[in-house]
Amino acid sequence: MSGSLIIQQPGNSVVTDLGRFRGPRFGLPVNGALDQFSARAANILAANADNAPLLEITALDFRMQASTDLLIAVTGAPLTLTVGGRECPQWEPVSVRAGETVAVRRITGGLRSYLAVHGSVEAPALLGSCAPDTVIGFGLRLSEGTELTTSRSVGPIRQPYFDLPLFRLGLTRPEFSSRAVIDVTDGPDVEEFGDTAELLFNTEYTVSARSNHIGLRLGGALPERQSSAEVLSRGVPVGAIEVPSREELLVLHRGRGVTAGYPVLAVVTSRSLDTLAQARPGHTIIFRKTTVPEATAKHRAAIRELENLRSRVSTIFALLGIGKDPGWPELIPAAGS
């Protein structure tokens, strides 16, 4: 049975996925969830494929109403989640009954949260992805009254002990701090900056309000390129750190233009791009040098953690009958209760 929900207060929210990986060869940025770990975790907790369409809610309060029974999971920046007025845990599956309102309020400490619905939500795709692309005007930005359809509805899971949470899957949550340490590897053009490249590691940078999904602009002491020769446009990776002006450092994120003619000083690691996705204007950024093998190892450790989560979720959900036959799973009260 399919399910549905209606957006009541969109705040700043879109339907996205992990990105348009076929985009860059056509000159389109990859885009997709800026905090990939949180997005994957939300989908895993909702027993979806990692890359399933889900909601990315940025900074502002959000509210939706379930038209059918749903199972959801909310991850990302710390916030207050209520379902039908009851406060519910983040980073755990949450059962929602038809007619109940799901509210996400007070996103603090970070910037972006992710809301996945079991059975995912339907959204138009371009080159195999629903990720919004603001430059070409593609994607599903949510507004009041938007109705989203999910491929499945999940009967309410009843908790016989009122004060205990339904699930305790125990994923280690990322840390959220107003002073973020960001790992970077040397960029392919680091030598063009001579000794000034070291400034990157000796400076505390401040996130500017002009930052967005295309890139973060950081104020602070700027490394300076030692030559002024024109660079032919070339592909730049997500995470590239450039110094395009004398005002700010630019750290490209998933919405970045695929090609540019600025030298790449350093590249933020995959793990730290998730951290940057949560940096708010005014937050402090400190860069730390690492190597590609170390960055790869850290990324894989995070993926392993998500894989462990997936196997715990699938065990529990199989016991509850979620994702299999539609039914009305009910926890059996312990003897004597």
Q: Which single residue is written with the structure tokens 């799901």?
A: 102
Residue 39 engages other proteins in binding (rule: CB under 8 A): no
**CA dist., res. 145 & res. 3, Å (int):** 16
H or E element: which one contains 82?
A: strand 80-83
Distance of alpha carbon 79 from alpha carbon 104, whole angstroms = 7
What distances in angstroms separate CA 337 from CA 160, 161, 210, 300, 334, one per listed residue?
9, 9, 56, 44, 6
| 54 binds other proteins, rule: CB under 8 A | no
What whole-number distance in Å separates Cα of residue 277 and Cα of residue 233?
26
Closer residue to other proteins (CB): 108 or 233: 233
Give the shortest CB-281-to-other proteins separation in angstroms. Answer: 17
What's the closest the beta carbon of residue 47 comes to other proteins, in angstroms? 20
Among residues 60 and 292, whose Cβ is nearest to other proteins? 292
- Residues 27, 160, 170, 326: which binds other proteins (CB under 8 A)? 27
Instruction: Annotate each residue in 265-304 with x if it binds other proteins (CB under 8 A) or - if it does not, as one string.
Output: --xxxx---------------------x--xx--xx--x-
Structure tokens, 112: 């972006």
Which pair of tokens denotes residue 161? 């002990």
Residue closest to 119 by CA, chosen among 53, 32, 197, 209: 53
Distance between CA atoms of residues 111 and 326, nearest Å: 36
For residue 196 the two structure tokens come to: 């000034």
Of 46 and 238, which has the nearer Cβ to other proteins?
238
Structure tokens at 151: 């491929």
Report the nearest approach of other proteins to the CB of residue 259 (Å): 4
Do residues 323 and 118 make contact, with C-beta atoms less than 8 angstroms apart?
Answer: yes
Q: Residue 149: count other Cβ atoms within 10 Å of its Cβ.
A: 16
**Residue number with CB closer to other proteins (5 or 258):** 258
Q: Which is nearer to other proteins, 50 or 61 (CB)?
A: 50
Nearer to other proteins, 117 or 251 (CB): 251
**CB of 176 closer than 8 Å to CB of 188:** no
Residue 136 in contact with other proteins, rule: CB under 8 A: yes
* DSSP 8-state secondary structure symbol assigned to residue 133: B
Q: Which residue bears the tokens 């840390």?
A: 175
Yes or no: say if 54 and 48 are a contact pair by the CB < 8 Å rule: yes
Contact between 305 and other proteins per CB under 8 A: no
Q: Applying CB under 8 A, does 108 fall inside the site for other proteins?
A: no
Site residue total, other proteins (CB under 8 A)? 49
Pairing of strands 179-186, 284-289: parallel
Rounded least distance, CB 293 to other proteins, Å: 8
Q: Which of residues 222-261 bind other proteins (CB under 8 A)?
A: 230, 232-240, 244-245, 256-261
Residue 22 near other proteins by CB under 8 A: yes
Q: Of 21-29, 76-84, 89-97, 165-173, which segment contacts other proteins by CB under 8 A?
A: 21-29
In whole angstroms, the minimum distance from the beta carbon of 190 to other proteins comes to 10
- Is residue 133 within the footprint of other proteins (CB under 8 A)? yes
Closest CB to other proteins among 112 and 299? 299
Radius of gyration, CA atoms only, the chain = 21
Residues that bind other proteins (CB under 8 A): 21-22, 24-30, 126-127, 133, 135-138, 185-188, 230, 232-240, 244-245, 256-261, 264, 267-270, 292, 295-296, 299-300, 303
